[in-house]
Amino acid sequence: MRVAFRGATLFVSMKKVALHTLGCKLNFAETASIGREFARRGFQIVAFGEQADVVVLNTCTVTEKADRECRQMVRRALRRSPDAFIVVAGCYAQLQPGEIASIEGVDLVLGSKEKADVFAYAGDFQKREAPAIHITPAGEIVDASPAVTGNLVERTRAFLKIQDGCDYNCSFCTIPRARGGSRSVPVSVLVGQAEQLVRDGYREIVLTGVNVGDYGRHEGSSLRDVLRAVSSVDGVERLRVSSIEPNLLTDELLDFWLSKGNISNHFHMPLQAGSNAVLGMMRRRYRREWYGDRVRAIKSRFPDAGIGADVIVGFPGETVSDFGSTFEFISDLPVSYLHVFSYSERPNTDALALGPRVEARVRASRSERLRMLGLHKRRLHHESFVGRDVEVLFEAVRSPGWISGLTKEYVRVDVSESATSPNVVRWVHVTGATVDGCVGILRERL
């Protein structure tokens, strides 16, 4: 930055801010919105790990690993920038503000509501003798602050926050205590944000939230209303839903979803367990029969659809028979990929009172078995496209000589780097497949 002063030109360096996100795509969208506010106020955004005047960590608390990683990131930031003003915000901060404040070097702790307005609490961003804590109890958070993120270089895919919080009471989950009850961003606001994303050059929008399928329940609207409105925005070539609870994927919603040509045939539905006994202990709002019915309903309409499932292994009380039921159920289910998690004890959750506890080594063994099954299913899904033409939205060069993109079914496809460029949609003839994705050659279509 140059400043004229009495005929001379002085060079004044901009303050630098580094931002780091732990956890879900919703957190990434919220961090990006925080970053935009810093940029609007004249800060230079630098990569986390570079020297910075301010460091903002947006945290997660879904697992013990996420908590531990937050503490590690604070120490890492201070090693690189010992005088940096450190802000720790988000879910971990909401649930354990005292624990965060006790980390040496932290200056400001902000809860789930406060993180949307860092400047209201940070003052002049000068280091403090004792950290300031600003937390609104989760039960008092009544609005959903808008948030959107996208790669400003590639400008291909953007994440649009439509909903926050959760009214469910799954026995293992801390999210309702960290983010409060379910609440939604108005459709009119989302349409305006989608229109801006189109103007910015994005070709795909991913709708994200804590419980996306619960959108609008308290406001008199629904996820279908959002899908209808955003998919109708001129220039939205692809619309994707980040995830949906299986009990909320009704036949009516599914029929509308699959009737729109620009809504991707990709469904990420948390399963968590294939044993009804375990689902009951988890307090999930469906049973395996309903989950299987949803998968078959999707596949009967679109056999190529990509379907992903989250699974928690080693939940308290999970027996050998329960795990066997989960493994068998998933083996017979035409899902495309798995996200497998070993159960992680979270403070103040009802699951802690359940038992017996599954030993860590057993959890690890069961997780590995499911991960191998997931890799097998992923490869079979990819191989089903060999010899066929698919429509790919290319994103960027991911490895030397290759450019990569995604199909509507959430299959990654690579072609020669010289064949095309980022942020274009091209037809590709798939010539090969691995567990990581497909490869092919461009195919012109009339």
If residue 132 lies in a helix (H) or strand (E), which one and from where to where? strand 132-134
401 vs 280 pLDDT, higher one: 280
Give the start-end residues of each E strand in 295-384: 306-313, 337-342
Q: What are the boundaries of each domain within the chain? A: 2-136, 138-264, 389-442
Q: Is 276 exposed, middle or buried (0-12, 13-18, 19+ CB in 10 A)?
A: middle
State the residue for tokens 């079914």. Answer: 409
* CATH of 389-442 given 1.10.8, 2.40.50, 2.60.40, 2.40.128: 2.40.50
Alpha-carbon span 212 to 24, nearest angstrom: 13
State the residue for tokens 């450019």. Answer: 403
Short-list 253, 251, 252, 292, CA closest to 269: 292
Least confident of 136-150, 223-237, 245-259, 390-404: 136-150
Q: Which residues are 263's β-sheet partners?
A: 239
Number of other CB atoms surrounding residue 172 within 10 Å: 22
Alpha-carbon span 190 to 168, nearest angstrom: 24
Position 34 scores a pLDDT of 92
Domains 2-136 and 138-264 share a fold: no
pLDDT at 374 over 70: yes
pLDDT at 191 over 50: yes
Radius of gyration of the chain from Cα atoms?
23
Residue 247 is given by DSSP the state G
pLDDT at 302 over 60: yes
Average pLDDT over residues 100-108: 91
Average pLDDT over residues 7-13: 47
Position 45 scores a pLDDT of 93
Q: Which residues contact 209 (CB under 8 A, 6 or more apart)?
A: 26, 161, 162, 163, 164, 184, 215, 242
pLDDT at 3 over 60: no
Report the chain's mean pLDDT, rounded to a whole number: 91
Residues 47/75, Cβ–Cβ less than 8 Å: no
Q: Which residues are 272's β-sheet partners?
A: 311
Q: Which residues are 62's β-sheet partners?
A: none
Q: Which residues contact 216 (CB under 8 A, 6 or more apart)?
A: 184, 187, 222, 223, 225, 226
- CATH C-level class of 138-264: alpha beta
Position 60 scores a pLDDT of 87
CATH of domain 2-136: 3.40.50.12160
Alpha helices in 123-218 (DSSP H): 175-179, 187-199
190 vs 148 pLDDT, higher one: 190
pLDDT at 150 over 70: no
Secondary structure class of 169 (helix, strand, coil): coil
Average pLDDT over residues 219-229: 96
Q: Which residues are 163's β-sheet partners?
A: 184
State the residue for tokens 């027996």. Answer: 319
Residues 245/285, Cβ–Cβ less than 8 Å: yes
Alpha-carbon span 340 to 435, nearest angstrom: 16
If residue 55 lies in a helix (H) or strand (E), which one and from where to where? strand 54-59
pLDDT at 393 over 90: yes
Average pLDDT over residues 144-154: 66
Q: What percent of the chain has pLDDT over 70?
A: 95
Predicted TM-score (pTM) of the model is: 0.88
pLDDT at 5 over 50: no
Q: Is the dihedral of CA 174, 29, 146, 219 positive or negative?
A: negative
8 vs 436 pLDDT, higher one: 436
pLDDT tens-digit map of 162-189: 999 999 999 999 999 999 999 999 999 9
Average pLDDT over residues 51-55: 95
Q: Which residues contact 7 (CB under 8 A, 6 or more apart)?
A: none
User: Rounded to whole angstroms, what are the CA distances from 121 to 84, 131, 132?
Assistant: 16, 11, 8
Alpha-carbon span 12 to 128, nearest angstrom: 24
Average pLDDT over residues 296-305: 96
Position 414 scores a pLDDT of 95
Average pLDDT over residues 142-151: 74
Position 333 scores a pLDDT of 97
- Six token digits for residue 343: 């159960």
Residue 270 is given by DSSP the state -
Alpha-carbon span 380 to 337, nearest angstrom: 10
pLDDT at 213 over 60: yes
pLDDT tens-digit map of 56-86: 999 888 777 777 888 888 888 888 889 999 9
Position 382 scores a pLDDT of 98
Q: Which residues contact 138 (CB under 8 A, 6 or more apart)?
A: 94, 112, 165, 176, 177, 178, 179, 180, 181
